[in-house]
Structure 1
Amino acid sequence: MFETITIDVDARGVATLTLNRPEKHNAMSGQMLVDLKAAAEQLGADETVRVVILTGAGKSFCAGGDLGWMQQQREMAPDVRGKEARKLAEMLQALNTLPKPLIGRVQGNAFGGGVGMASVCDVTIGADTVTMGLTETRLGLIPATIGPYVVSRMGEAMARRVFMSARLFKADEAVTLGLLAKAVPAADLDAAVEAEVVPYLNCAPGAVASAKALTRTLGMPIDDAVIDHTIDALVSRWEGEEAEEGISAFFEKRKASWMV
């Protein structure tokens, strides 16, 4: 049914949603955004599903935006770029509002949009070997559509430490930042995720869904106005000279003009 992801549901109703482009380090393509949004809607409507685990196949959790997708966006008109940005925003919001517990299993590196997906999970457990980073500003872009979820997860003060610098950080720092709940040896990752799953199987599913919805009303609001603002901010950056220079330098395998 899906081109870029897989879904497996066990007898308990625990669904594992896997990003399945290992040869591309699970980088997000336009098709993956469509698949993930549809998967979130499908799992949310399935009364037999109690918990969802989000993970990646292969060495990486998610390397951010797919290079081919980025090249296509360079040639797009601003309104079309906006539509592509909205695909990402709608996918993240679909996962964020999933009426089931969403547990992130970060088995490999996560950059850019991958950090965004880790941030929409209710709890995220990572292998202690992973590297993460919000790398957009190296390209002259900004972590816009993922921004509300990243800041909501980390808090503004913690987010400021890594949101603008594109600095890479290890799993232990991701725990300090609040992005990961804990980091464990890779061999212990499944057991740590399972420990998060089991308590939900003893809870009333409807009450869990209602409690999750309530937390969103009590925390930082991520509504249509916020989402529209992030899309506009990203499209504006795409139109600037820095984005043109940064993305050109990336594909030409050279340093951008501002790099030392």
Structure 2
Amino acid sequence: MQDIEFKVFLKRLRHYFALGQQLLEAVNSFPKPVIARINGPALGLAFGLVFTADIRVASDTAYFKMPEVKEGLILLLSSPYIFKELGKLQAREYALTGRRITATEGQGVFLNATTSSIAQLDDKVNSYLSMLMDSAPEAMAKTKMLIDIIASGGDSEQSSRVMEINNNALEGMFLSDEAHYGVMSTFLHKKKPDWDAYLKAKL
């Protein structure tokens, strides 16, 4: 009976593990910029979600942990995202000790900014949103893809792939509607491109 119960438990565990993988990869590969607004503890999978975001802002009351080792477990779900970005020394310290990491400690390591109040947290997030709204949507998506490819490794195959993407991007960049609109607005009309209006006009 116990063996049957364990098999059911294992089946459910694998199901939820697959859902967690899908969630992390969906956020990580999302073509639009993702901002993480963190105002509390981010442990395990939540810590991994932080690393899938493009911009990360936390209040100084937030903290982070990889507590799996304390429970006899291995950090599997989040490790591809966390360990790829953290240096080996810090990854080992955080993962092996499972200790609490403050937002202040995380700033500049895996956080873009920290704030001392909720109001400041919202202000900082809105500031980033404002900057992102000034950027072209397709250009941001391709930039995210290029950063991921370069950051994933520097072997000859990856380098060739980067060169191929760059060449293709160069050929298509100035021929795209987005680039035409941005260049015309900036250099001919001498005004900042309104990307919100651009997207609405294309609907």
TM-score (normalizing by structure 1): 0.53
Q: Secondary structure at the match of 1:161?
A: helix
Unaligned regions of 5+ residues in structure 1, if any? 1-72, 222-260
Structure 2 equivalent of residue 181 of structure 1 = 112
**Among 101, 112, 132, the residue aligned to 2:33:** 101
Higher helix share: 2
Check 1:76–1:153 CA distance in 2 against 1; reply closer, same or farther (3 A cut): farther
| Structure with greater strand percent | 1
CA change 1:140–1:213 in 2 (3 A) is: same
Q: 2-side partners of 1:123 and 1:75: how far apart?
A: 40
Q: What is the correspondence of 1:20-59 to structure 2 with a 5 Å cutoff? A: none
Q: Does 1:125 align with 2:125?
A: no
* Cα separation, 2, equivalents of 1:114 and 1:199: 26
- Cα root mean square deviation, aligned: 1.9
How far is the alpha carbon of 1:75 from its aligned partner? 6.1
**1:82-161 pair list within 5 angstroms:** 82-161=14-93
Tell me which stretches of 4 or more aligned residues in structure 1 moved more than 3 Å.
73-80
Letter in 1 for 2:132: Y
Distance, in Å, in 2 between the alignment partners of 1:110 and 1:167 is 12
- The change in CA–CA distance for 1:217 and 1:74 in structure 2 (over 3 A counts) is farther
* Identical residues among aligned pairs (%): 26
Distance 1:167 1:76 in 2: 32
The alpha carbon displacement at 1:148 in A equals 0.9
Check 1:166–1:76 CA distance in 2 against 1; reply closer, same or farther (3 A cut).
Answer: farther
2:150 to 218, 230, 252: 218
User: How far apart are residue 153 of structure 1 and its match?
Assistant: 2.9
Report the secondary structure of 1:164's partner residue.
helix
SS in 1 for 2:36: strand
Secondary structure, aligned partner of 1:144 = coil
Query: What do the CA deviations read for 1:34-55 (whole angstroms, capped 9, x no partner)?
Result: xxxxxxxxxxxxxxxxxxxxxx
TM-score by length of 2: 0.67
Count of residues in Structure 1 that have an aligned counterpart in Structure 2: 148
Give the 3 Å change call, closer, same or farther, for CA 74–158 of structure 1 in structure 2: farther
Which protein shows a greater Rg? Answer: 2
